[in-house]
Chains A and B, each alone.
Chain A
Amino acid sequence: MSPVVLQMSCVAGLLGIAVLAIILSGRKTATTTIYCATAAVSCVALFGSVRFLVGDAANASGLILPIGLPWLGAHFRLDALASFFLLVVNLGGASASLYGLGYGHHDPAPQRVLPFFPAFLAGMNLVVLADDAFSYLLCWEFMSLASWALVMAHHREPGNAKAGYVYLVMASFGTLALLLAFGLLAGPTGDYGFAAIRAAPHTPYVATLVLILMLFGAGSKAGLVPLHVWLPLAHPAAPSHVSALMSGVMTKVAIYGFIRVIFDLLGQPIWPESVVVLFLGGITAVMGILYALMEKDLKRLLAYSTIENIGVIFASLGLALAFQANGQKLAAALAFTAALFHVLNHSFFKSLLFFGAGAVLTATGERDMDKLGGLIHRMPFTSFVVLVGCVAISALPPFNGFVSEWLMFQAVLQSPELPQWALKIMVPAVGALLALAAALAAACFVKAFGVTFLGRPRSPAAETAHEVDRYSLSAMSILAALCLLAGILPGLVIDALAPITIDILGGRMPVQANEAWLSIAPIAESRSSYNGLLVMLFITISASISVFVIHRFASHAVRRGPAWGCGFSDPTPAAQYSAASFAQPIRRVFGTSVFRASDHVDMPAPGDVRPARLRIELHDLVWEGLYRPIAGAVGFSSDRLNRLQFLTIRRYLSLVFATLVTLLLVLAIWS
């Protein structure tokens, strides 16, 4: 069986499971059956894509199905790039299904999730496999609608209906942009096959327009600022394993679309494109993490952090575009590999963290960090794996997040060779933004972990929490192990990504497998190298030495006592540092300009017994400055146009006649 046929049969299998879920709806065994079947099919698809990527990635295999447009058919193709993204999708799918085996049983209405879950996975697989514009758009819409249904699974909870509505509007807007982009790419001949688009020449004018449209289309799905507004609403609204898929995987499918069109279909890029992408990437990274720092809802914090990571990925794609436009193949391969590596890493740790948030939700019923705390005592295993995820996402060695950040900074250091002045100014500024985002991410995850898992419990629910089921724990442990493995064996990942860079950019990074002790050296060892394995070994050895010495020579006595309160112990756990108070210094530094943050203290007069209150005012300037005026304008014009609904038939006919005449006149003047 050719690899693409295997992948397509897996997709068919997933669609079959979706149908099965409808048939089984209401049965008790449905949850177990569906998640088991989805996990099995995802594992097969994962195995197939890995074998293709490391095996014969040079031989792309195609498949034409006799559906879709009658003169075109539906084209599907598996090449190196597609197989990498299939790996991301199916790994996410398999781990989410495993997690769902435990988590799904707590769902009050499983029949609202079960059919759409495999369908959503099938949709993401199909988008990556599609090889013509028509099937691409169709599968994209299928993916969007399936995920929308999952967002609306708990539609009675407050806020979810709004989330679904905003998501639907943004998704339609994105698809419209994609439709126009493909229309431009296909040109007047209207050949929608990707092979034909790739072969046709594209003028810089068309290329620029397509880039802008793709930034709208793929960017709105991925969460580029200022198109990110739906993401922190919709991702947390879905059940946690679906949130993990939407945040960890679906945003990557959008990035796949961007790479496919801009790097692959458009051919040789021009350098001004890269300035736009770099700028948006840098801004998105910093804005995303600042939003996350202001948040106190655990799942919304994670969704905002996804925006940051998307910004990081786009910034390194922008670097790759800049190098590629100037023919620096090696540096382009480095930046592109960094972006793909970060795609993989983010899918690992973001899924892990969303699973962790789901576990907290199961155990306590709370997403609000200000009602949690002290969970490290009651959920030791969950807190350990979530800590691994937090360390990894904060880009700390020896975990995987650091490797991709490191590769990205190495790519930034290659860029003084770029000839254009705009890029010479832009790249160091974006480098600074990325460094700032990385440091803020560490602060953000100290806050997320510290407030949720450490300290004293802030509510009875947090006080009586219990460890979650084994399926959830094993799904999280697998992802945590992958975070560590990708961090200590980065050379293997970089070598596995080489076929993609050869395919897309025509160059590759040096083979890493030959380096001593599994280290990585992106250009040459004298310039820079990193060895995650040895860093981990050194930390372990020096920590063990110090533990040994201390326990050999120092006192062993331990006494437990009350915490030091300076003479006045906090009477209640509510007096601990909360999410908002932890972020207060950063809010004062960055928030006063970015969010126009202000604190209002309401202090009662002496003798008055009502409590003092502190109110924090934050403004989402993107929402208030961009979306609210647009929504207002749409509302205003639809109010005005409303009158057209109540006309007589005579007036309608005259309207039709007037339109016809106007159009004919336009046509006559045009030609």
Chain B
Amino acid sequence: MVVISDIVVQGGQMLLVLLLAPLLTGFVRKIKARLVRRQGASVFQPYRDLLRLLRKEVVLAENASWLFRVTPYVTFAAIWVAAALVPTFATGLLFNWTADLIAIVALLGSARFFLALAGMDIGTSFGGIGSSREVMIAALAEPAMLLVFFCIALVAGSTQLSTVANFMASSYVGLRVSLGMAVIALIMVALAENARIPIDNPTTHLELTMVHEAMVLEYSGRHLAMIEFGAFLKLLLYISLIACVFLPWKIALFGAGPLAYAVGAGAYVVKLAAAGFFLALFETATAKMRVFRIPQFLGAALMLGLLGTLLLFVSRSF
């Protein structure tokens, strides 16, 4: 019985993230449009986009290799597995012991590794420029994220995300300087990793200013659908991650009843909507920065993460 409910919770969360991810992106786009007084497309537009892409034929470049064709699936699978390990509405996932925070960073790293390779596969300059900039951003964002996770792990005494979420939700953690630094750093990293303004512009149509979009420029049809879906999922993953660690409000604890799960799910949707709203607000209010300002932005995230970790090394009470 317990096992069955565990499987239901785990499976439910895996399906929930799949269902909600396009909606979240649609919601962010809608808010952004409304903020600049446009009508904007429906919040369900991303679903329609995905279906449209699935129905279209794939146009492959003449010299595309097998790596180019498997990458969309590998990338999507790696992000989905990572997303399945992040608690959304309830802690205590069945497979939380399979991979911890460090492994989640590495899984997202795998997705990016293959995507960057696929960008180089065709041999055009756009793919190259996208890949080379993407790995530059990753080279700074990934260590920053690891340091943030060190910080969280030292506070919670565990690198397992489910245990961390349980700890943050159940005991009185209080306001801590180190966690404050960690959350700022993690938000900066999340902006960079999801190719949002001010790092990258998800809606740009000028190839030279794109990073992520330039890398996947050659993709079309169902392959592009998988990559877009992976990107939607990644945004949801980062928001869930920030929410479950820093805002564990109403999250259902391990073994709680169905009512708690329902409350948790409701609270989760509210958190997603709030995060989406603030993301849209922030993106409307800032401009994209030059590519070579990005290292300073991410360097600040790295230093914040390091400072938070250092404070915890000095004293556990920070």
Do A and B associate with each other? yes
Binding site for B on A (CB under 8 A): 373-374, 376-377, 380, 387, 391, 394-397, 402, 406, 409-410, 412-413, 415-416, 424-425, 427-429, 431-432, 435-436, 438-440, 442-443, 446-447, 449-451, 454-456, 519, 521, 525-531, 534-535, 538-540, 542-543, 546-547, 550, 553-555, 557-566, 570, 573, 575-577, 581-586, 588-589
Contact B221 A555 (CB under 8 A): yes
Contact B62 A416 (CB under 8 A): no
Tally inter-chain residue pairs, CB-CB below 8 A.
280
**Residues 116-148 of chain B, each 1 if its beta carbon lies under 8 Å from chain A, else 0:** 110111111111110111011011111100110
Indicate which residue in A521, A562, A570, A589 contacts B140 across the interface (CB closer than 8 Å): A589
Contact partners of A429 in chain B: CB under 8 A:
306, 310
Ordered by A's residue number, 24 sampled pairs between the chains whose C-beta atoms are within 8 Å are: A373-B123, A377-B63, A397-B110, A406-B106, A409-B146, A413-B150, A416-B316, A428-B309, A432-B147, A443-B135, A443-B138, A519-B98, A527-B159, A557-B56, A561-B61, A563-B124, A566-B126, A576-B124, A577-B125, A577-B132, A581-B128, A582-B131, A583-B132, A586-B135
Contact B157 A527 (CB under 8 A): yes
CA distance A581 to B130 in the complex (A): 12
B59 lies within 8 A of chain A by Cβ: yes
Nearest Cβ on chain B to A126's Cβ, whole angstroms: 39
Contact B295 A519 (CB under 8 A): no
Contact partners of A581 in chain B: CB under 8 A:
128, 132
Lowest 9 A-B CB distances belong to which pairs? A577-B128, A557-B57, A455-B123, A450-B120, A585-B136, A435-B143, A543-B77, A443-B135, A456-B123
Contact A416 B154 (CB under 8 A): yes
Contact A425 B310 (CB under 8 A): yes
Contact A397 B106 (CB under 8 A): yes
Contact partners of A451 in chain B: CB under 8 A:
120
Contact B95 A534 (CB under 8 A): yes
Apart from A428-B150, A582-B120, what 20 extra A-B contacts exist at CB < 8 Å? A391-B113, A396-B110, A415-B313, A428-B310, A435-B143, A436-B302, A442-B135, A443-B135, A446-B131, A450-B120, A527-B160, A528-B160, A530-B102, A535-B99, A555-B56, A557-B58, A561-B59, A563-B62, A565-B124, A585-B292
User: A529-B160, A534-B95, A546-B77 known; A562 and B61 CB under 8 Å?
Assistant: yes
B40 lies within 8 A of chain A by Cβ: no
Query: For this complex, into which size category does the number of interface residues on chain B fall?
Result: 35 or more
Task: Identify the closest chain A residue to B80 (Cβ).
Answer: A542
Contact partners of A588 in chain B: CB under 8 A:
292
Interface of B is mostly: helix
Task: Identify the closest chain B residue to A529 (Cβ).
Answer: B97
B55 lies within 8 A of chain A by Cβ: yes
B76 lies within 8 A of chain A by Cβ: yes
Contact partners of A562 in chain B: CB under 8 A:
61-62
Task: Identify the closest chain A residue to B128 (Cβ).
Answer: A577
User: A428-B150, A439-B142, A450-B120 known; A377 and B65 CB under 8 Å?
Assistant: yes
Indicate which residue in B78, B131, B316 contacts A577 across the interface (CB closer than 8 Å): B131
Contact B302 A432 (CB under 8 A): yes
B213 lies within 8 A of chain A by Cβ: no
Contact partners of B80 in chain A: CB under 8 A:
542, 546
CA distance A409 to B153 in the complex (A): 11
B100 lies within 8 A of chain A by Cβ: yes
B35 lies within 8 A of chain A by Cβ: no
Task: Identify the closest chain A residue to B291 (Cβ).
Answer: A585
Binding site for A on B (CB under 8 A): 54-67, 73-74, 76-78, 80-81, 84, 95, 97-100, 102-103, 106-107, 109-110, 112-113, 116-117, 119-129, 131-133, 135-136, 138-143, 146-147, 150, 153-154, 157-160, 163, 207, 217-218, 221-222, 225-226, 291-292, 295, 302, 305-306, 309-310, 312-314, 316
Nearest Cβ on chain B to A308's Cβ, whole angstroms: 13
Contact A438 B302 (CB under 8 A): no
Nearest Cβ on chain B to A535's Cβ, whole angstroms: 5
Contact B135 A564 (CB under 8 A): no
Contact partners of B302 in chain A: CB under 8 A:
432, 436
Nearest Cβ on chain A to B225's Cβ, whole angstroms: 7
Contact partners of A560 in chain B: CB under 8 A:
59-62, 64
CA distance A228 to B140 in the complex (A): 25
Contact partners of A565 in chain B: CB under 8 A:
124
Contact A585 B133 (CB under 8 A): yes
Contact partners of A415 in chain B: CB under 8 A:
313
Indicate which residue in A439, A558, A577, A583 contacts B129 across the interface (CB closer than 8 Å): A577
Contact B65 A454 (CB under 8 A): yes
Contact partners of B78 in chain A: CB under 8 A:
539
Contact A416 B313 (CB under 8 A): yes
Nearest Cβ on chain B to A404's Cβ, whole angstroms: 12
Indicate which residue in B84, B106, B135, B136 contacts A538 across the interface (CB closer than 8 Å): B84
Contact A553 B54 (CB under 8 A): yes
CA distance A563 to B128 in the complex (A): 13
Indicate which residue in B100, B126, B154, B225 contacts A528 across the interface (CB closer than 8 Å): B100
Contact partners of A442 in chain B: CB under 8 A:
109, 112-113, 135, 138-139, 142
CA distance A545 to B84 in the complex (A): 14
Contact A376 B65 (CB under 8 A): yes
Contact partners of A534 in chain B: CB under 8 A:
95, 98-99
